[in-house]
Structures are given as C-alpha cells and as structure tokens.
C-alpha cells in the first residue's frame, strides 16, 4: 500500500507552513466536490510519516472485546461513502470583531470531499460496547505543543456515542477515490460529518471507549467561551455542529465588473438541517431577494445557489448573502462574539466596483 | 532657530517606518494632553528636512495682496493657542468588515495636543481675500507617489474659507510649548481642529486662495465612497468633521482582572458638538449604564470618563463604550462601510478575562 506523501497544498492559500494550515480560494467553491489538492488543510502539529504496514488501531476501554485493527483489516471490512463538507471551527475568525487569537483564517477553511471508509458504528459493534459507554476518545499520532498547553501532547478529541452511531461517521481511508493524502490523515482519519472539522481527528492511533467525555486540552479549547453576562458565569459549550452559513464565490472581493447583467454565485450549508433559503442584498442591507437554489449534493454537503444581478449604478457595491436552514436558523449580521473566535457565521460581504471598461 | 530632528516615535506602535505611521497605545490616553513623543504620526511621504531660515510661505491666488511669510514673521505675529484632538481619518480601519486597503490602524491614531501658532484668519486678512474666494489650498513640501497616483505628487488639501475663519484654525509652530517636531510638520503645519487629521497639512510650502475646492489626489482620496444603493450612484462626500466616538483606555484588551471593583476609563469626542453621554455595557450589549463624565478639556479636545464596574462573574467579558454628542449622534455597533475605510466609529469592544489570582 503506497504511503501518500504528495504535497497537497498546490491550489491553496498557505497561512502557516509547519504545521500546515492552508485555505481555499473562494473562486474555487463552485464545484460539487473540491479536488483533493484543493481541500483546505488544518493541522495542529507536523504531519507524521506513517507506514501503514507497521500501523494498527487498538479499540479499547469500555468494550467487551478489545480489538486491534490493521490497515488491511479495515480495507476488507464493509465500506461506506459520504459526500461531506468540512469546515474548520476557526473559519472566518479574522472577520470577528474584536479579534481572537489563533490562525487568522479568512473564509477559506471549508471544502467538500467524497470520503470512503468503514462506519465507526461497524467497528464499535465488533468491539461490543459496554452499557456504561457514552463517549469515545480518538487520539492522533501527531504530537506537539500548543500555546498554553504547558508541554507536549497528542491531538485528541472525544465524540458522543450518539453521533458515532450515524453510519456516515467514518474511519476514512479514501478521499475522492484515492488513498487519503498524508496531510489529510493517512492512513486513517475520523470523519464526523455535520460537525466542525476539529472532531475529524487525523492520523488515528487509538480509540478508547469511555463512560464520560474525555475533556483534555483540545476538547476544552474547542469550546465557546462567550462574554459573561455580569451576573452568572456563562455556560461553556463544546463546538459541535456546523452553524448555518453561506459564502459568495463569484464575484470575488475587489473585482471590477461592468454595468449590466451578472451572476452572483456561492454555496451555503448547515449542520442543523438543510438550506431552505439564500437571500442576496446588493444595496447595503436595505433589501434582500431570494437566490435560486440548485439541487442539493447530499445531506452533509453544501448547496450551490446563484442570483441574477443587474449592476445598474457605477461605484462601489457590497454584495451580501444570507442563508436560512430548515430549523429556521438565519445567518446573523454579526456572529456571537466568543473568546476563541469559533463558529463565525456572520453574513459574508463582498466589496466590488462597477465601472465601465 | 533649531531644526527639530529628534525621533518622536519612542512611545508609539510603529505601523510603517518610511513614511512614518505610528499609533498610540490606548493605555496612554488617560491624560489631558498627549506628551509630544506620544502623539500619533501619520505621514504620507518621508518627512522633509527643512531649514527654517531658508523657508518661506507664499500666500497667493485670489487675494488682493499676495504675501510671502518667513518663519520669523510668523513667530512675531499675534499668537493663538488651542488644545485640539487629532484623529486620522483611517483610525480603526482594521476593525471594519469587510476590510479596506490602507494603513491598518487599530484604534491608536488619535491624540490631543496644545497647539500654538497664528490663526489662519489673521494671515488671510493680511492678504485680503477677493470676493470670489471660497476655498484655500494648502500644499506640503513632502513629495512622493501614492498607490494609483500615477506619478509623484505633493501632499495637498483645500479647506473651505468658512472653516478657516474660525480663529482656532492655525498655522501652528508649537506643540505642547515646544518647537514643532520634524515628524509633526516643522517648521509650520496647518491645524484644523474638529476635522480629521488629513486636513492638517504638515510642512507647509504654499497657500493658494481659490474660487473652488481644489480637488486633487489626496482630496479625492479622503472621501466616503459608500456602497451604492443599486439604483442611483451614491453621493461621494469629503471626509471633514470628526464622528462621535469613544475608546476604552483601561482595561486594555486581553487583560486579566480579579473579581471585584474596577474602574473602566476612557475618552470620547465628536467634531459635531460636545459629548453629552457615554454609556458602558459589560454584559455583551444587553444593558447600558451611564459613565461619569469628567470636566471637558476644551471644545476641540476629548472628554474623559470613568465607570465603576463590579466584576462579579468569572470568565470572558466584553466591555463596550458608546458615546452620544450634543447633536444626538450616537456611535453605531457597525460604522457605515465605505470603500476606503474612513470615519470608522463603531462601538469599541474590549475583551478581558475575570479570574481569581
């Protein structure tokens, strides 16, 4: 089995080299599935070099039958595919005011892939959960220090059993029909569709079934620490499912367009239901008109939309898109401020200029 | 007369070396008048080295009596002093969403000085304005190229006569009782109190009385190009008087404070009237309570305020201040977006953390 060692950052906007953090260009969102080399990358630590022949994945803890899966075992098990969007919890962080520390993502930490692997459910059934089991800890091989971590640690995150019983939650070994690239978690990564990307642990080393959420550095870091209300300590909540959001892919910010007819295009998604409406404003938030939704690409994917715009007035325009999902969630003008800058789903605003050629 | 050549950027946050752009640290705002070496600096071009003995200032154009003032002449004329706030039109640009090109000021391009010089009115009376005169062009010695300027040019700006007849509008030669430093326009700069700083042309070389606004590169650049409304071209307006604004100086962003009593302090100002109210929110915009206004420091200066805060809940807090002026202008949550990122007076939000020692 070949190790995947290709540089997968070719079509990306690199924000950090080591660990590699690289986002997509929004003009590349207009595809059903992102090309593998154009899928955003968010690593916490340098990508480990793993030889799949030497690698195995023990599943231990609150199980009746601890097992140790080798790479070949997984490839022979019943496979499952899902087209799933992945978005980094810190995507659009740089647009939050006041700003938060962390990777200063613009809006490019979002992509869609066709993932193939084994349902986590299948593996957990094989190991046979004890009745006390509530959460499962996924640890990566990758190791390093984080700001304020006080020492080296491995990337790790626990996920509630309930989410793991969704057959679309995978131990993934393929991305768009090819072996998982090194930067995306070779040989095996977790894929938790509908959740922010922090849960989709790469380079899996261990799976431990537990009777409680693990906590731990990354799990406590990927939390919403809101502004307190001055009366009681605000509730800290884990970052889990994707907030409703949309992005404009065409035109891109700073574009010059001529007066006349143009198509405004983009994508929208939500982890809490499907997209029911995308509205567009071209007049600085005064009026909103519905965009045309295209056929959905799957329940965990994005939804493309387009809007016919007649650019009548010369000068600067702000194009905005606002998505609504089937639970009635609507993108806000300003996302809720939080200390770590997660879940930023403020309405996307794209400044462009209309001018004659 | 000594040339002023000292490095005046000691206590500043330098954003650009040449030309020098440097802002204040907000913790230094808690003074009636900023120390000269702590006054923000915004230069468009490298600061010229001028020998005041060789320098003179011709006043020509639509005047009955063209004159040519030498430095010594100005020092002998009746002098006038004003304590005036100066704010760069691009201050807080980095907090505007979507962002605009230009110097990425945080909130530090604001300071107060005690300025001394000759009222422009006095000089214009000496030259005797023709009846057609409406505007006066002030040109600097400083020369260079700007992005999109298409070639070298001098910094220049015209100001309507009406504003120049205010005796507080000065040809300034002293700052806080000392000779104007090189970085602040030695030997003579214009001071237009109540307006954004772009009008206070440094290193004056020429004054030309005109029967129309001059236009020109900088005058057209310092304009509000709003988002058009999709129906008619939006009105382009020059940047002139200061928008109502407040800043929190204590605590500073990212501070840790212990539970208990704290003073929140800051400044507020407006170019359109005096400050009548500053309100503070410590509970993420749910409630606002009045701060205590101190004695004003003069009609063109800032107004200090303070607020007694009982930090009761542990965790992250967002402190916000919101000023209202005597014309009823109130700081908005989001300033009006404009293409160049000027006049950003959005409510200042300061994230801090309450924790036990």
Which chain B residues are Cβ-neighbours of A236 within 8 angstroms? 315
Q: How many CB atoms lie within 10 A of CB A326?
A: 13
Q: What is the pLDDT along chain B (357 residues), one digit of tens a residue?
A: 333 333 344 589 999 998 999 999 999 999 999 999 999 999 999 999 999 999 999 999 999 999 999 999 999 999 999 999 999 999 999 999 888 889 999 999 999 999 999 999 999 999 999 999 999 999 999 999 998 888 999 999 999 999 999 999 999 999 999 999 999 999 999 999 999 999 999 999 999 999 999 999 999 999 998 887 655 556 789 999 999 999 999 999 999 999 999 999 999 999 999 999 999 999 888 899 999 999 888 899 999 999 999 998 888 889 999 999 999 999 999 998 999 999 999 999 999 999 998
Residue A244 near residue A96 (C-beta atoms within 8 A): no
Report angle CA A268, A336, B227 to the nearest 5 degrees: 65
Nearest to B110 by CA among B341, B270, B291: B270
- Give ranges for CATH 2.60.40.650 in chain A: 245-354
* Of the options 3.90.1150.10, 2.40.30.10, 3.90.420.10, 3.90.650.10, the CATH number for the domain spanning A13-221: 3.90.420.10
Which runs of consecutive H residues, i.e. helices, occur in A128-180? Answer: 161-164
Best of B93, B315, B332, B337 to mutate (most A CBs within 10 Å, chain A): B315
Largest CA distance in chain A: 72
Residues in B whose CB is inside 8 Å of some CB of A read 95, 97-98, 100, 225-234, 253, 282-284, 286, 312-318, 333-334, 337-339, 346, 349-351, 353-354
Helix (H) or strand (E) holding B127: helix B120-127
Asked whether the beta carbons of residue B230 and residue A282 sit closer than 8 angstroms, the reply is yes
CA distance B336 to chain A (A): 9
pLDDT band with cut points at 50, 70 and 90 for residue A230: low
**What does A14-71 look like in DSSP terms, one character per residue?**
EEETTTTEEE--GGG--SSS--GGGS-EE-SSPPP---TTT-EEEEEESBSS-EEEEH
Q: What is the DSSP letter of A164?
A: H
Distance, CA of B241 to CA of B253 (rounded, Å) = 28
Give the model's pLDDT for residue B148: 86
Distance, CA of B348 to CA of B310 (rounded, Å) = 20
The answer for residues whose C-beta is within 8 angstroms of residue B318's C-beta and 6 or more apart is A98, A227, A337, B281, B282, B284, B285, B349, B350, B351
Distance, CA of B341 to CA of B90 (rounded, Å) = 6
Asked whether the beta carbons of residue A317 and residue B283 sit closer than 8 angstroms, the reply is no
Asked whether the beta carbons of residue B334 and residue A333 sit closer than 8 angstroms, the reply is yes
Q: Report chain A's terminal Cα–Cα distance, integer Å.
A: 55
- Residue from the list A227, A282, A284 with its beta carbon closest to the beta carbon of B317: A227
Q: Which residue of A has its CA nearest to B225?
A: A316
Nearest to A313 by CA among A284, A290, A348, A278: A284
Helix (H, G, I), strand (E, B) or coil at A293: strand
Residue B36, φ and ψ in degrees, nearest 5: -55, -45
Asked whether the beta carbons of residue A337 and residue B349 sit closer than 8 angstroms, the reply is yes
Distance, CA of A343 to CA of B2 (rounded, Å) = 58
Helix (H, G, I), strand (E, B) or coil at B174: strand
- Residue from the list A97, A317, A337 with its beta carbon closest to the beta carbon of B228: A317
Q: What is the DSSP letter of A239?
A: -
User: Sign of torsion, CA B275 B276 B281 B285?
Assistant: negative
- Give ranges for CATH 3.90.420.10 in chain A: 13-221
Report angle CA B1, B7, B12 to the nearest 5 degrees: 135
Helix (H) or strand (E) holding A173: strand A170-175
Distance, CA of B274 to CA of B221 (rounded, Å) = 28
Asked whether the beta carbons of residue B227 and residue A283 sit closer than 8 angstroms, the reply is yes
Residues in A whose CB is inside 8 Å of some CB of B read 95, 97-98, 100, 225-234, 236, 253, 282-284, 286, 312-318, 333-334, 337-339, 346, 349-351, 353-354
- Which tens digits make up the pLDDT trace of A187-223? 999 999 999 999 999 999 999 999 999 999 999 999 9
Which chain B residues are Cβ-neighbours of A337 within 8 angstroms? 284, 318, 349, 351
pLDDT at A25 over 80: yes
Give the model's pLDDT for residue A2: 31
Share of chain A above pLDDT 70, in %: 96
Q: Are strands A135-144 and B348-354 parallel, antiparallel or unpaired?
A: unpaired
Give the model's pLDDT for residue A5: 32
Distance, CA of A108 to CA of A356 (rounded, Å) = 30
CA distance A97 to chain B (A): 7
Distance, CA of B355 to CA of B357 (rounded, Å) = 6
A58, with CB counted inside 10 A (0-12, 13-18, 19+), is middle
The answer for residues whose C-beta is within 8 angstroms of residue A147's C-beta and 6 or more apart is A101
- Which tens digits make up the pLDDT trace of B137-152? 999 999 999 988 889 9
Helix (H, G, I), strand (E, B) or coil at B143: strand
Nearest to A186 by CA among A199, A202, A205: A202
Distance, CA of B313 to CA of B271 (rounded, Å) = 37
Which chain A residues are Cβ-neighbours of B230 within 8 angstroms? 282-283, 312-313, 317
Q: Which residues pair with A210 in a beta bridge?
A: A135
- Residue from the list B95, B225, B231 with its beta carbon closest to the beta carbon of A97: B95
Asked whether the beta carbons of residue B313 and residue A225 sit closer than 8 angstroms, the reply is no
Token representation of residue B139:
């040109």
Which chain A residues are Cβ-neighbours of B313 within 8 angstroms? 228-234
CA neighbours within 13 Å on the CB side: how many for B345?
A: 23
Token representation of residue B92:
């807080």
Asked whether the beta carbons of residue B226 and residue A350 sit closer than 8 angstroms, the reply is no
- Which tens digits make up the pLDDT trace of A112-169? 999 999 999 999 999 999 999 999 999 999 999 998 888 999 999 999 999 999 999 9
**What does B69-124 look like in DSSP terms, one character per residue?**
EEHHHHHHSPPEEEEEEEE-TTTTGGGSSS--SS----S--EEEEEEEEEEHHHHH
Helix (H, G, I), strand (E, B) or coil at A259: coil
Asked whether the beta carbons of residue A225 and residue B95 sit closer than 8 angstroms, the reply is no
- Residue from the list A229, A314, A318 with its beta carbon closest to the beta carbon of B337: A318
Which chain A residues are Cβ-neighbours of B247 within 8 angstroms? none
* Of the options 3.90.1170.40, 2.60.120.10, 1.10.3720.10, 2.60.40.650, the CATH number for the domain spanning A245-354: 2.60.40.650
Q: Which residue of B has its CA nearest to A341?
A: B351
Best of B93, B106, B221, B228 to mutate (most A CBs within 10 Å, chain A): B228
Best of B92, B94, B98, B334 to mutate (most A CBs within 10 Å, chain A): B98
Token representation of residue A337:
């401020």
- Which tens digits make up the pLDDT trace of B34-48? 999 999 999 999 999
CA distance A222 to chain B (A): 15
- Residue from the list B229, B316, B338 with its beta carbon closest to the beta carbon of A283: B229
Distance, CA of B238 to CA of B224 (rounded, Å) = 6
Asked whether the beta carbons of residue B314 and residue A231 sit closer than 8 angstroms, the reply is no
Q: Which residue of B has its CA nearest to A235?
A: B315
Is the reported ipTM for this assembly greater than 0.90?
no
Which chain A residues are Cβ-neighbours of B317 within 8 angstroms? 227-228, 230
Asked whether the beta carbons of residue B334 and residue A337 sit closer than 8 angstroms, the reply is no
Asked whether the beta carbons of residue B227 and residue A316 sit closer than 8 angstroms, the reply is yes
Distance, CA of A245 to CA of B38 (rounded, Å) = 43
State the count of interchain CB pairs (< 8 A) between A and B.
Answer: 115
Compare B117 and A313 and report the one with higher pLDDT: B117
Q: Which residues pair with A23 in a beta bridge?
A: A13
Residue A238, φ and ψ in degrees, nearest 5: -70, 145
- Which tens digits make up the pLDDT trace of A72-105? 999 999 999 999 999 999 999 999 988 888 999 9
Distance, CA of A260 to CA of A354 (rounded, Å) = 9
Residue B193, φ and ψ in degrees, nearest 5: -70, 145
B186, with CB counted inside 10 A (0-12, 13-18, 19+), is buried
Distance, CA of A35 to CA of B183 (rounded, Å) = 53
Residue B120 near residue B69 (C-beta atoms within 8 A): no
User: Sign of torsion, CA B101 B103 B104 B109?
Assistant: negative
Asked whether the beta carbons of residue B282 and residue A354 sit closer than 8 angstroms, the reply is no
Please state the separation of Cα B353 from the chain's center in Å. 31
- Residue from the list A236, A316, A349 with its beta carbon closest to the beta carbon of B225: A316
Name the pTM for this structure. Answer: 0.88
pLDDT band with cut points at 50, 70 and 90 for residue A232: low
CA distance B354 to chain A (A): 9
pLDDT at A7 over 70: no
Give the model's pLDDT for residue A6: 34
- Residue from the list A313, A316, A334 with its beta carbon closest to the beta carbon of B231: A313
Which chain B residues are Cβ-neighbours of A346 within 8 angstroms? 97
Largest CA distance in chain B: 72
Asked whether the beta carbons of residue B313 and residue A350 sit closer than 8 angstroms, the reply is no
CA neighbours within 13 Å on the CB side: how many for A53?
A: 3
Nearest-10 Cα torsion for A101, A107, A113, A116: 20
């Amino acid at each position: 089995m070949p190790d995947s060692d290709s540089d997968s950052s070719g079509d990306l906007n690199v924000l950090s080299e080591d660990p590699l953090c690289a986002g997509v260009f929004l003009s590349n969102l207009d595809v059903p599935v992102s090309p593998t080399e154009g899928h955003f990358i968010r690593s916490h630590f340098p990508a480990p070099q793993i030889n799949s022949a030497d690698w195995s994945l023990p599943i231990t803890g609150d199980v009746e039958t601890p097992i140790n899966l080798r790479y070949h075992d997984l490839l022979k098990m019943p496979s499952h595919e899902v087209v799933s969007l992945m978005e980094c919890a810190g995507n659009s962080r740089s647009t939050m005011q006041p700003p938060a520390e962390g990777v200063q993502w613009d809006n490019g930490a979002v992509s869609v892939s066709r993932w193939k692997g084994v349902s986590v459910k299948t593996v957990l059934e094989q190991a046979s959960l004890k009745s006390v089991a509530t959460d499962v800890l996924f640890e990566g091989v990758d190791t390093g220090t984080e700001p304020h971590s006080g020492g080296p640690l491995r990337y790790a995150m626990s996920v509630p059993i309930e989410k793991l019983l969704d057959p679309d939650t995978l131990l993934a070994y393929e991305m768009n029909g090819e072996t998982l690239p090194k930067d995306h978690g070779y040989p095996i990564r977790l894929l938790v569709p509908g959740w922010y990307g922090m849960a989709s642990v790469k380079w899996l080393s261990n799976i431990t079934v537990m009777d409680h959420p693990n906590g731990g550095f990354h799990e406590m870091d990927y939390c919403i620490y809101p502004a307190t209300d001055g009366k009681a300590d605000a509730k800290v909540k884990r970052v889990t499912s994707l907030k409703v959001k949309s992005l404009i892919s065409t035109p891109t910010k700073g574009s010059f367009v001529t007066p006349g007819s143009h198509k405004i295009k983009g994508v929208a998604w939500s982890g809490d239901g499907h997209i029911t409406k995308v509205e567009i404003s071209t007049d600085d938030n005064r009026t909103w008109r519905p965009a045309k939704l295209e056929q959905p690409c799957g329940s965990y994917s994005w939804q493309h939309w387009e809007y016919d715009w007649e650019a009548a007035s010369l000068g600067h325009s702000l194009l905005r898109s606002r998505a609504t999902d089937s639970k009635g969630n609507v993108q806000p003008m300003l996302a809720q401020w939080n200390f770590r800058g997660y879940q930023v789903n403020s309405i996307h605003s794209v400044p462009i200029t209309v001018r004659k050629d």
